[in-house]
Protein backbone atom coordinates (compact mmCIF):
# COMPACT_ATOMS: atom_id res chain seq x y z
CA UNK A 1 0.00 0.00 0.00
CA UNK A 2 1.53 3.34 -1.09
CA UNK A 3 1.30 6.59 0.84
CA UNK A 4 -1.73 7.83 -1.12
CA UNK A 5 -3.60 4.64 -0.46
CA UNK A 6 -2.56 4.71 3.20
CA UNK A 7 -3.88 8.25 3.56
CA UNK A 8 -7.22 7.25 2.09
CA UNK A 9 -7.25 4.14 4.30
CA UNK A 10 -6.65 6.13 7.49
CA UNK A 11 -9.16 8.84 6.66
CA UNK A 12 -12.41 7.95 8.34
CA UNK A 13 -15.31 8.32 5.90
CA UNK A 14 -18.66 9.74 6.95
CA UNK A 15 -20.97 6.84 7.75
CA UNK A 16 -24.73 7.08 8.03
CA UNK A 17 -26.60 4.11 9.45
CA UNK A 18 -29.59 4.33 7.18
CA UNK A 19 -31.83 1.47 6.05
CA UNK A 20 -31.61 0.16 2.56
CA UNK A 21 -33.82 2.20 0.20
CA UNK A 22 -37.00 0.29 -0.73
CA UNK A 23 -36.14 0.53 -4.43
CA UNK A 24 -32.57 -0.66 -3.96
CA UNK A 25 -31.94 -3.78 -6.02
CA UNK A 26 -29.99 -6.32 -4.02
CA UNK A 27 -27.28 -8.04 -6.02
CA UNK A 28 -28.29 -11.56 -6.97
CA UNK A 29 -24.81 -12.98 -6.75
CA UNK A 30 -24.52 -16.76 -7.03
CA UNK A 31 -23.20 -18.64 -4.05
CA UNK A 32 -19.45 -18.87 -4.47
CA UNK A 33 -19.13 -22.43 -3.19
CA UNK A 34 -21.68 -25.22 -2.84
CA UNK A 35 -20.28 -25.87 0.66
CA UNK A 36 -20.97 -22.33 1.89
CA UNK A 37 -24.65 -22.71 2.73
CA UNK A 38 -24.25 -26.06 4.53
CA UNK A 39 -21.26 -24.71 6.46
CA UNK A 40 -23.16 -21.62 7.56
CA UNK A 41 -26.35 -23.53 8.33
CA UNK A 42 -24.40 -26.02 10.41
CA UNK A 43 -22.93 -23.23 12.55
CA UNK A 44 -26.37 -21.78 13.31
CA UNK A 45 -27.93 -25.21 13.81
CA UNK A 46 -25.46 -26.16 16.54
CA UNK A 47 -26.14 -22.92 18.41
CA UNK A 48 -29.88 -23.48 18.15
CA UNK A 49 -29.65 -27.07 19.38
CA UNK A 50 -27.54 -25.87 22.33
CA UNK A 51 -30.27 -23.36 23.24
CA UNK A 52 -28.04 -20.38 22.45
CA UNK A 53 -30.20 -18.98 19.69
CA UNK A 54 -32.87 -16.52 20.82
CA UNK A 55 -35.46 -14.52 18.85
CA UNK A 56 -33.69 -11.23 19.49
CA UNK A 57 -30.47 -12.50 17.89
CA UNK A 58 -29.66 -12.62 14.23
CA UNK A 59 -27.79 -15.45 12.51
CA UNK A 60 -27.59 -14.98 8.75
CA UNK A 61 -26.17 -16.60 5.64
CA UNK A 62 -25.30 -14.44 2.62
CA UNK A 63 -27.38 -11.64 4.13
CA UNK A 64 -26.62 -8.03 3.31
CA UNK A 65 -25.37 -5.68 6.02
CA UNK A 66 -25.51 -2.11 4.82
CA UNK A 67 -24.82 1.56 5.52
CA UNK A 68 -24.27 4.79 3.66
CA UNK A 69 -20.69 5.90 3.15
CA UNK A 70 -20.16 9.38 1.76
CA UNK A 71 -23.76 9.39 0.60
CA UNK A 72 -23.55 6.07 -1.24
CA UNK A 73 -24.99 2.71 -0.20
CA UNK A 74 -22.32 0.24 0.87
CA UNK A 75 -23.31 -3.37 1.38
CA UNK A 76 -21.64 -6.71 1.95
CA UNK A 77 -23.18 -10.14 2.49
CA UNK A 78 -20.90 -12.27 4.69
CA UNK A 79 -21.25 -16.01 4.37
CA UNK A 80 -22.18 -16.13 8.07
CA UNK A 81 -22.96 -13.35 10.50
CA UNK A 82 -23.97 -13.14 14.14
CA UNK A 83 -25.66 -10.10 15.69
CA UNK A 84 -26.18 -10.42 19.47
CA UNK A 85 -29.28 -8.23 19.65
CA UNK A 86 -31.69 -6.85 17.06
CA UNK A 87 -34.91 -4.90 17.31
CA UNK A 88 -38.08 -6.79 16.42
CA UNK A 89 -39.56 -6.06 13.02
CA UNK A 90 -43.26 -5.32 12.50
CA UNK A 91 -45.48 -8.32 11.94
CA UNK A 92 -45.72 -9.23 8.27
CA UNK A 93 -42.55 -7.38 7.34
CA UNK A 94 -39.55 -9.24 5.94
CA UNK A 95 -36.02 -8.22 6.85
CA UNK A 96 -34.31 -7.71 3.47
CA UNK A 97 -31.01 -6.54 4.92
CA UNK A 98 -29.51 -5.35 8.16
CA UNK A 99 -28.47 -1.84 9.18
CA UNK A 100 -26.52 -1.69 12.44
CA UNK A 101 -27.58 0.77 15.16
CA UNK A 102 -30.87 1.42 13.36
CA UNK A 103 -31.99 -2.24 13.59
CA UNK A 104 -29.88 -3.40 16.49
CA UNK A 105 -26.31 -3.94 17.59
CA UNK A 106 -23.24 -4.21 15.44
CA UNK A 107 -22.47 -7.66 14.10
CA UNK A 108 -20.21 -9.44 16.56
CA UNK A 109 -18.81 -11.99 14.12
CA UNK A 110 -18.65 -12.23 10.34
CA UNK A 111 -17.30 -15.18 8.40
CA UNK A 112 -16.18 -15.67 4.84
CA UNK A 113 -15.64 -19.09 3.28
CA UNK A 114 -12.99 -19.16 0.55
CA UNK A 115 -14.00 -20.51 -2.83
CA UNK A 116 -11.04 -19.45 -4.97
CA UNK A 117 -7.73 -17.68 -4.71
CA UNK A 118 -8.79 -14.20 -5.79
CA UNK A 119 -8.10 -12.82 -2.30
CA UNK A 120 -11.39 -10.92 -1.98
CA UNK A 121 -11.61 -11.83 1.70
CA UNK A 122 -8.34 -9.97 2.31
CA UNK A 123 -9.15 -6.98 0.09
CA UNK A 124 -8.57 -3.78 2.08
CA UNK A 125 -9.45 -1.37 -0.70
CA UNK A 126 -10.83 1.87 0.86
CA UNK A 127 -12.68 2.87 -2.28
CA UNK A 128 -16.20 1.87 -3.36
CA UNK A 129 -17.39 -0.79 -3.48
CA UNK A 130 -14.77 -1.34 -0.72
CA UNK A 131 -12.82 -4.47 -0.05
CA UNK A 132 -14.29 -6.96 2.41
CA UNK A 133 -11.43 -6.56 4.85
CA UNK A 134 -11.76 -2.78 4.82
CA UNK A 135 -15.55 -2.97 5.05
CA UNK A 136 -15.50 -5.22 8.13
CA UNK A 137 -12.48 -3.71 9.86
CA UNK A 138 -12.75 0.01 9.19
CA UNK A 139 -16.39 0.68 8.31
CA UNK A 140 -18.32 -1.84 10.38
CA UNK A 141 -15.54 -2.49 12.89
CA UNK A 142 -16.76 -6.01 13.53
CA UNK A 143 -14.96 -7.44 16.59
CA UNK A 144 -14.35 -10.85 14.99
CA UNK A 145 -13.57 -11.70 11.37
CA UNK A 146 -13.26 -15.38 10.42
CA UNK A 147 -11.85 -16.63 7.12
CA UNK A 148 -12.20 -20.35 6.45
CA UNK A 149 -10.85 -22.32 3.52
CA UNK A 150 -12.83 -25.61 3.36
CA UNK A 151 -10.61 -27.13 0.70
CA UNK A 152 -7.37 -26.54 2.59
CA UNK A 153 -9.02 -26.92 6.03
CA UNK A 154 -7.42 -23.64 7.04
CA UNK A 155 -9.02 -21.43 9.65
CA UNK A 156 -8.02 -17.84 10.39
CA UNK A 157 -9.66 -15.93 13.20
CA UNK A 158 -8.99 -12.20 13.50
CA UNK A 159 -9.92 -10.02 16.46
CA UNK A 160 -10.25 -6.25 16.22
CA UNK A 161 -7.68 -4.64 18.50
CA UNK A 162 -6.83 -0.95 18.43
CA UNK A 163 -8.78 -0.59 15.20
CA UNK A 164 -6.99 -3.37 13.31
CA UNK A 165 -7.48 -7.09 12.91
CA UNK A 166 -4.97 -9.34 14.62
CA UNK A 167 -4.70 -13.04 13.84
CA UNK A 168 -5.53 -15.09 16.94
CA UNK A 169 -3.43 -18.20 17.62
CA UNK A 170 -5.27 -21.48 18.11
CA UNK A 171 -4.91 -23.59 21.24
CA UNK A 172 -3.33 -27.05 21.35
CA UNK A 173 -6.53 -28.49 19.86
CA UNK A 174 -6.47 -26.09 16.92
CA UNK A 175 -9.41 -24.08 18.28
CA UNK A 176 -9.75 -20.35 18.89
CA UNK A 177 -11.61 -18.90 21.85
CA UNK A 178 -14.42 -16.53 20.77
CA UNK A 179 -15.16 -14.54 23.91
CA UNK A 180 -18.27 -12.93 22.43
CA UNK A 181 -19.99 -16.31 22.28
CA UNK A 182 -18.12 -17.91 25.17
CA UNK A 183 -17.24 -20.71 22.77
CA UNK A 184 -14.29 -22.21 20.94
CA UNK A 185 -14.31 -22.29 17.14
CA UNK A 186 -12.38 -24.95 15.27
CA UNK A 187 -12.31 -27.44 12.41
CA UNK A 188 -13.99 -30.82 12.75
CA UNK A 189 -13.42 -33.47 10.12
CA UNK A 190 -16.23 -35.88 9.50
CA UNK A 191 -19.58 -36.39 7.86
CA UNK A 192 -22.69 -34.41 8.70
CA UNK A 193 -25.90 -36.43 8.38
CA UNK A 194 -27.79 -35.74 5.16
CA UNK A 195 -24.88 -33.73 3.71
CA UNK A 196 -22.84 -35.20 0.85
CA UNK A 197 -19.58 -33.33 1.39
CA UNK A 198 -16.94 -34.77 3.66
CA UNK A 199 -14.86 -31.63 3.98
CA UNK A 200 -13.82 -30.11 7.26
CA UNK A 201 -16.61 -28.38 9.15
CA UNK A 202 -16.49 -25.32 11.35
CA UNK A 203 -17.76 -26.42 14.77
CA UNK A 204 -18.32 -24.88 18.18
CA UNK A 205 -17.00 -26.25 21.48
CA UNK A 206 -18.14 -25.06 24.91
CA UNK A 207 -15.66 -23.90 27.60
CA UNK A 208 -15.42 -27.46 28.93
CA UNK A 209 -14.29 -28.67 25.50
CA UNK A 210 -17.53 -30.45 24.62
CA UNK A 211 -18.66 -30.28 21.02
CA UNK A 212 -21.94 -28.49 20.32
CA UNK A 213 -24.02 -31.06 18.50
CA UNK A 214 -26.04 -30.81 15.33
CA UNK A 215 -29.70 -31.73 15.47
CA UNK A 216 -29.23 -35.27 14.14
CA UNK A 217 -26.32 -35.83 16.52
CA UNK A 218 -28.39 -34.57 19.43
CA UNK A 219 -31.28 -36.81 18.43
CA UNK A 220 -28.91 -39.75 18.13
CA UNK A 221 -27.48 -38.98 21.57
CA UNK A 222 -30.98 -38.73 23.00
CA UNK A 223 -31.85 -42.08 21.41
CA UNK A 224 -28.71 -43.62 22.86
CA UNK A 225 -29.46 -42.12 26.26
CA UNK A 226 -33.04 -43.40 26.00
CA UNK A 227 -31.72 -46.87 25.10
CA UNK A 228 -29.28 -46.76 28.01
CA UNK A 229 -32.08 -45.62 30.30
CA UNK A 230 -34.37 -48.39 29.03
CA UNK A 231 -31.60 -50.93 29.50
CA UNK A 232 -31.00 -49.63 33.00
CA UNK A 233 -34.70 -49.87 33.79
CA UNK A 234 -34.82 -53.41 32.37
CA UNK A 235 -31.74 -54.33 34.36
CA UNK A 236 -33.23 -52.84 37.52
CA UNK A 237 -36.50 -54.65 36.83
CA UNK A 238 -34.73 -57.97 36.35
CA UNK A 239 -32.66 -57.36 39.46
CA UNK A 240 -35.82 -56.55 41.42
CA UNK A 241 -37.45 -59.73 40.07
CA UNK A 242 -34.39 -61.74 41.06
CA UNK A 243 -34.51 -60.15 44.49
CA UNK A 244 -38.20 -60.99 44.84
CA UNK A 245 -37.54 -64.55 43.69
CA UNK A 246 -34.67 -64.87 46.15
CA UNK A 247 -36.87 -63.54 48.95
CA UNK A 248 -39.65 -65.96 47.92
CA UNK A 249 -37.23 -68.87 47.92
CA UNK A 250 -35.79 -67.73 51.24
CA UNK A 251 -39.26 -67.61 52.77
CA UNK A 252 -40.03 -71.03 51.30
CA UNK A 253 -36.79 -72.40 52.74
CA UNK A 254 -37.63 -70.93 56.15
CA UNK A 255 -41.13 -72.41 55.93
CA UNK A 256 -39.77 -75.85 55.05
CA UNK A 257 -37.22 -75.63 57.84
CA UNK A 258 -39.98 -74.81 60.32
CA UNK A 259 -42.10 -77.64 58.99
CA UNK A 260 -39.14 -79.99 59.31
CA UNK A 261 -38.49 -78.84 62.86
CA UNK A 262 -42.17 -79.31 63.64
CA UNK A 263 -42.11 -82.77 62.05
CA UNK A 264 -38.99 -83.74 63.99
CA UNK A 265 -40.65 -82.55 67.18
CA UNK A 266 -43.78 -84.56 66.41
CA UNK A 267 -41.69 -87.64 65.63
CA UNK A 268 -39.80 -87.22 68.88
CA UNK A 269 -43.06 -86.87 70.79
CA UNK A 270 -44.45 -89.94 69.04
CA UNK A 271 -41.30 -91.89 69.95
CA UNK A 272 -41.64 -90.84 73.57
CA UNK A 273 -45.30 -91.81 73.50
CA UNK A 274 -44.45 -95.25 72.05
CA UNK A 275 -41.78 -95.78 74.67
CA UNK A 276 -44.24 -94.71 77.37
CA UNK A 277 -46.92 -97.01 76.02
CA UNK A 278 -44.45 -99.91 75.69
CA UNK A 279 -43.26 -99.37 79.25
CA UNK A 280 -46.82 -99.17 80.54
CA UNK A 281 -47.73 -102.31 78.57
CA UNK A 282 -44.73 -104.15 79.98
CA UNK A 283 -45.69 -103.12 83.51
CA UNK A 284 -49.28 -104.26 82.91
CA UNK A 285 -48.07 -107.61 81.56
CA UNK A 286 -45.76 -108.04 84.55
CA UNK A 287 -48.55 -107.24 86.96
CA UNK A 288 -50.85 -109.68 85.19
CA UNK A 289 -48.19 -112.40 85.31
CA UNK A 290 -47.62 -111.79 88.98
CA UNK A 291 -51.36 -112.01 89.62
CA UNK A 292 -51.55 -115.30 87.75
CA UNK A 293 -48.56 -116.65 89.66
CA UNK A 294 -49.98 -115.62 93.00
CA UNK A 295 -53.29 -117.26 92.11
CA UNK A 296 -51.53 -120.47 91.08
CA UNK A 297 -49.47 -120.56 94.25
CA UNK A 298 -52.58 -120.02 96.29
CA UNK A 299 -54.22 -122.99 94.61
CA UNK A 300 -51.19 -125.18 95.19
CA UNK A 301 -51.04 -124.22 98.87
CA UNK A 302 -54.70 -124.99 99.20
CA UNK A 303 -53.91 -128.53 97.99
CA UNK A 304 -51.16 -128.85 100.60
CA UNK A 305 -48.29 -128.50 98.24
CA UNK A 306 -45.17 -126.73 99.52
CA UNK A 307 -44.59 -123.67 97.28
CA UNK A 308 -41.75 -122.12 99.26
CA UNK A 309 -39.23 -122.88 96.49
CA UNK A 310 -41.49 -121.39 93.84
CA UNK A 311 -41.58 -117.82 95.09
CA UNK A 312 -38.09 -116.92 93.77
CA UNK A 313 -39.32 -116.54 90.17
CA UNK A 314 -38.44 -113.09 88.79
CA UNK A 315 -40.00 -111.24 85.90
CA UNK A 316 -38.29 -108.58 83.97
Is the predicted pLDDT of residue 1 greater than 80, yes or no?
no
148 and 202 co-located in one domain: yes
pLDDT for the residue numbered 33: 47
In a domain, 314, yes or no: no
Q: How many domains does the chain have?
A: 2
- Identify the band that residue 314 occupies on the pLDDT scale cut at 50, 70 and 90: low
pLDDT by residue (tens digit) across 247-306? 999 999 999 999 999 999 999 999 999 999 989 898 989 888 888 888 888 888 888 888
Mean pLDDT of all residues in 182-207: 88
> Is residue 73 left, alpha or beta, with left meaning phi > 0 and alpha meaning psi from -120 to 50?
beta
Q: How confident is the model at residue 16 (pLDDT cuts 50, 70, 90)?
A: very high
- The Cα 43–Cα 141 span in angstroms is 22
Q: What is the pLDDT of residues 28-83, one digit of tens each?
A: 554 444 457 899 999 999 999 999 999 899 999 999 999 999 889 999 999 999 99
Q: 69 CB contacts (<8 Å, ≥6 apart)?
A: 13, 14, 15, 16, 128, 130, 139
Residue 313 has pLDDT above 70, yes or no: no
Which residues span the domain enclosing 140?
3-212
Q: In Å, how far are 65, 89, 186, 206 from 181, measured between CA atoms?
A: 20, 24, 13, 9
pLDDT for residue 31:
42
57-78 burial, b for 16+ CB within 10 Å, e for fewer? bbbbbebbbbbbbeeebbbbbb
β-sheet with 109-113: strand ranges across: 58-60, 80-83, 109-113, 144-149, 154-161, 164-167
Q: Tell me whether residue 116 is in a domain.
A: yes
Query: In whole angstroms, what is the distance from residue 147 CA to residue 175 CA?
Result: 14
Q: Is residue 251 part of a domain?
A: yes
Same-domain check for residues 260 and 161: no
Q: How many CB atoms lie within 10 A of CB 45?
A: 21
Same domain for 18 and 117? yes
Q: Directed axis angle between helix 36-49 and helix 215-302, to 10°?
A: 40
Residues 35 and 125 in one domain: yes
Rounded CA gap, 296 and 316, in Å? 19
Average pLDDT for 114-126? 86
pLDDT for residue 198: 60
User: Dihedrals φ, ψ of 253, to 5°?
Assistant: -60, -45
Clarify whether residues 125 and 76 are in a common domain: yes
Q: What mean pLDDT do residues 227-255 have?
A: 93
Q: Are residues 140 and 260 in the same domain?
A: no
Amino acid sequence: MNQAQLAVFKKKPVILWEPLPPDFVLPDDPVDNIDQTPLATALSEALAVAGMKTPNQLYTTNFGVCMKVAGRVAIKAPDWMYVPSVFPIPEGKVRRSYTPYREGHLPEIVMEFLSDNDGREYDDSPRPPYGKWYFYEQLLQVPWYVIFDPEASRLEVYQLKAGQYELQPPDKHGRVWISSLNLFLGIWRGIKPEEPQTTGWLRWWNPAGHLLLWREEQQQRERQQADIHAQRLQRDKEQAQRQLEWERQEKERERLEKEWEHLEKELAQQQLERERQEKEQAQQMKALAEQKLAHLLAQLQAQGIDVSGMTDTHYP
